[in-house]
A and B are shown apart, each in its own frame.
Chain A
Amino acid sequence: MYFQTTTTFFLFLGVLSLDFERAKDHAEKFLESCVHSGLAHSWDTEKMRWVKPYPEVTGYILSLFSSRRIHEDLCSQMAHRLMRLQRPYGGYFSFKKKAAYVFDTAQIGKGLLDWYMWSKDEAAKKAVRLCGDFIRKMQLDSGAFFPIYSEKSRERVSLNTSWGTSFSTINCKATEFLIALQDAQVDDFREVINKVCQWTLRQEQLLYTHPGAYSLEGLWAGGFAKEVAARLEKCFIPRIQENGFLAYHPDLQYSYSSGSVQVGILCALNGCLDEAKSIWQWAWNVQQKHNNGGLFQYANPDGSINTSIHSEINSWGTKYFYEFSSILQTKTTTLY
């Protein structure tokens, strides 16, 4: 009886581990295929073509591959394209030209830093340093970041149009890059990091999974694990449904897949493994709905695509899912 139970248990673990491995493989294939001319794209399932070349997301993928020391040629291609796109003052444009974004610059900076750690390419180090300087200059005394630098008017700008263009807590995610810079002894950012984390902690309740999870990732990197756990407990965990579905916003009936996966990762890091596994199962279901290995940007509770905004499969959600699978694989193996 004992032998039978133990065998079943280890068989279950083996199957689960295999699932993580399979999910990672598919995600990696998608991430590899989404890079064209050195920039990451999204896949439009209706138009059936790659759309939206996105420097910020290229930074994510560069970071993921470089830190794992895989796909060297692709990484080199991405890094060189990103270095060419950098503005002389260190910032990076988003979709909107003539305006550099703090958030995008931090994500690209992180990618380039990981590439530098692998390749020891001095040009990458210079670019990374410029990114750090740009981010530092965009910070207010209160700790918040001006999200945009307008090249045309040479002004730091905050608008009230969306979370990407206002004094938003998403910019706390820059902490990850600044801490990595600090660790790599490129520059000292302790004051910047502390100020942005303290400012983020003073802000209101989180409702949207994305960008809510970005600010939590920043706080986590800044060493505020307890605060992150409290916010997860209060704002997101009660909203996770039995099948792992987590709505984009309490009033919406669909999920922003990347946001759900980001919350799942934070749950896993905070020791809420049941919740994390439940979200992972749902996200895996989303991944299996399409054969290219990516995750729909917006998905319904059953994992099918939600086209109310658009019908794209994006690379950042897929990248997070790859990391999520890795984390759970490690945690599950370590636990047992």
Chain B
Amino acid sequence: MNFRQFYKQRLQRYTSPSKVDRALLGLLYRSFPQPCRIIEAGCHTAHLSYKMARIGYSMTILDILDTPLRKAERKFLDSRLPVEAIHSDIMLVDGHWQGLWNSGVVQCYPPEKREILIKKMCSIAHTILLIYPTVEDRHFPRQNKDDTPPGIVGCKEYPVNDIPSIMSEYCHELYHGSIPPKQLGLAYPFEYVIGKPS
């Protein structure tokens, strides 16, 4: 068994979505005290936003892909939970929210576009929470397909070292931490930054 196969097996053994959800929800609740109007940028099927809406958060979900967004919207409506679904690129969105969060997109933007993305996010929300994997983890080979849009599984990912730096340019208050693999039930850690734009 080579190194890659070993970690693939380990990953399968450890993968437990509920653990990831628990860890991320804990972070979300801490970052956005209720009541709070929040937008999830790049929501896909928005299962965490759905859980947040169920305990009283006012949610807006946004994605560039229509199909998962409609699926998410239907789930909210079936449960009679209010939701605003926006089918758009984040760069084209107008409005203001108390909180904005995203998981797994920011690392897919090349460094030169990343700053524009973060600047845009900071212009539409009071508190930003960005969650991203530590892509440099040598134990976890990334797929890195060039032709897949950002945020989609397997798309190209870039080093994440500069994310707190860029956030520090736009936020007067900043927290940078990581969620260890054990807590996530994954083979690699997540990093996060919570920023309050100036």
Contacts and interface: CB of A to CB of B under 8 A. Distances in A.
Interface residues of A, number: 16
B80 interface: no
Interface stretch (B10-18, B120-128, B164-172): B164-172
A246 B175 CA distance: 36
Nearest to A150: B175
Interface in B139-198: 161-162, 164-165, 168-169, 172-178, 198
A146 interface: yes
Interface residues of B, number: 14
Nearest to B198: A160
B165 A160 contact: no
B168 A142 contact: yes
Given A156-B164, A167-B174, 9 more contacts: A140-B164, A146-B174, A146-B176, A156-B177, A157-B176, A158-B173, A160-B172, A160-B173, A160-B198
A155 B165 CA distance: 15
B168 A140 contact: yes
Nearest to B174: A158
B173 to A, nearest CB: 5
A159 B196 CA distance: 10
Contact of B175 (A140, A142, A155, A166): A155
A144 B168 contact: yes
A142 B170 CA distance: 13
B11 to A, nearest CB: 24
B117 to A, nearest CB: 16
Contact of A142 (B165, B172, B177): B165
Contacts, number: 42
Contact of A157 (B172, B175, B178): B175
A156 B168 contact: no
A interface, over-half SS: loop
Contacts of B176: 146, 155-157
A141 interface: yes
B167 to A, nearest CB: 9
A154 B177 contact: yes
A66 B177 CA distance: 37
A153 interface: yes
A323 to B, nearest CB: 33
Contacts of A150: 175
22 contacts: A140-B165, A140-B168, A141-B161, A141-B162, A141-B164, A142-B162, A142-B165, A144-B168, A146-B164, A146-B174, A146-B176, A153-B175, A154-B177, A155-B175, A155-B177, A156-B164, A156-B176, A157-B176, A158-B174, A159-B173, A160-B198, A167-B174
Interface of B: 161-162, 164-165, 168-169, 172-178, 198
B174 A157 contact: yes
A75 to B, nearest CB: 36
A146 B194 CA distance: 13
B74 to A, nearest CB: 37
A307 to B, nearest CB: 32
A158 B168 contact: yes
Contacts of B175: 150, 153, 155-158
Interface centre among B162, B169, B176, B198 (most CB of A within 10 A): B176
Contacts of A155: 175-177
A282 B153 CA distance: 67
A141 B9 CA distance: 34
Contacts of B198: 160
Contacts of A158: 168, 173-175
Nearest to B111: A141
Interface in A242-282: none
The 9 A-B pairs at the shortest CB distance, nearest first, are namely: A155-B177, A160-B172, A142-B165, A141-B165, A156-B176, A140-B165, A141-B162, A158-B174, A155-B175
Contacts of A154: 177-178
A23 to B, nearest CB: 42
B32 to A, nearest CB: 15
Interface string A146-184: 100010011111111000001100000000000000000
Nearest to A146: B176
B67 to A, nearest CB: 36
A161 to B, nearest CB: 9
A167 B173 CA distance: 9
Between B173, B174, B177, B198, the greatest number of chain A beta carbons within 10 A of the residue's beta carbon is seen for B174
B78 to A, nearest CB: 36
A167 B177 contact: no
Nearest to B176: A156
A160 B168 CA distance: 11
B76 to A, nearest CB: 31
Contacts of B174: 146, 157-158, 167
A159 B173 CA distance: 5
A153 B172 CA distance: 19
